[in-house]
Amino acid sequence: EAGVAQSPRYKIIEKRQSVAFWCNPISGHATLYWYQQILGQGPKLLIQFQNNGVVDDSQLPKDRFSAERLKGVDSTLKIQPAKLEDSAVYLCASTLRPTSGRARETQYFGPGTRLLVL
């Protein structure tokens, strides 16, 4: 089966510009996660969707970050405007079953999008 797909793989922008990332989870996976991984650190959850509803967005900087999963399949994460500290790898992951907020299922990760903000 195909894995989690993400695009673009790399993006370089200037501060105050906007950027969007796309994720297509494994077919049939109900739960989708966006993580931010800053160099030298572990991934940090930004937002979790179950089908097309938000389960957890407590760590999403909502003044500049937004995400949607309109049809319960693929998802888009947007940053507007970008800051220097947003430079990181943005990882998308998915799990098969609805988790009702519990992260006990094995998470399958995409290859990530490397963002550099100059």
Partner 1 sequence: GIQVEQSPPDLILQEGANSTLRCNFSDSVNNLQWFHQNPWGQLINLFYIPSGTKQNGRLSATTVATERYSLLYISSSQTTDSGVYFCAVSFGNEKLTFGTGTRLTIIP
Please report, as ranges, the residues that interact with partner 1 according to CB under 8 A.
Answer: 40-45, 48, 56, 59, 89, 91, 93, 100-104, 106-109, 111-112, 114
Question: Where do runs of H (alpha helix) occur along 1-118?
Answer: none
Q: Of 71 and 104, which has the nearer Cβ to partner 1?
A: 104
Structure tokens, 111: 């290859």
Give CA–CA dist 41/43, Å, rounded. 7
Q: Of 47 and 117, which has the nearer Cβ to partner 1?
A: 47
- State the minimum distance, in angstroms, from the CB of residue 31 to partner 1: 12
- State the minimum distance, in angstroms, from the CB of residue 81 to partner 1: 25
Give CA–CA dist 42/89, Å, rounded. 11
